[in-house]
A and B are shown apart, each in its own frame.
Chain A
């Protein structure tokens, strides 16, 4: 399975933008990049996904490098409720939608 690499932890302040990086140097041309986040004692929550172009939705933006070997999840204005573990995942399995989770980035938001 193609692997993603994320920092173990990051910290930011409330109402400031947050940029969460992800490296995926072994990505193939048809692999989608997905982001999920998980709050304590809850199931993961879908955030955003993309293939080649940058993507925006109500929760976040996803910036994908031109060579697709890295991507960045952008939270435009962090709130305390954004404190969670963020997982960057490559959807690479044909015929089944298996999500291969790494250890993710634990994001702390300071008030």
Chain B
């Protein structure tokens, strides 16, 4: 079955460490996205990529970095510059990066906590 796989499901980080969250899709979608969700809140966009080797900052990109070297992969690095990284991180994809009538498909998320 096609879908989006995020790993790990739970991740713990020590202060001052960088951590990388994995997101892989086998839907052959061009566009991929990273969102952050805090308790009781909606999702906020961190980064998005409309095509391989290209990505743009979303609303809350500070303290995060991404790469898009392959169509199926869009890893997110939470750097030590992100002062409040504890959150639920969600990856999504869509067929293309343009057009307003295409649904996004989400993974099941990674929950990041600070030790």
Q: Which residues of A contact B (CB under 8 A)?
A: 30-32, 34, 41-46, 49, 51, 87, 91-99, 101-104
Contacts and interface: CB of A to CB of B under 8 A. Distances in A.
B106 A103 contact: no
A interface: dominant SS: loop
Contacts of B99: 97
10 contacts: A43-B107, A96-B48, A96-B50, A96-B97, A98-B48, A98-B58, A99-B104, A101-B43, A103-B41, A104-B42
A102 B42 CA distance: 5
A32 B103 CA distance: 11
Interface of B: 4, 31, 33, 35, 40-45, 48, 50, 56, 58, 88, 90-92, 94, 97-109, 111
Given A43-B90, A98-B58, A99-B45, A91 B100 contact: yes
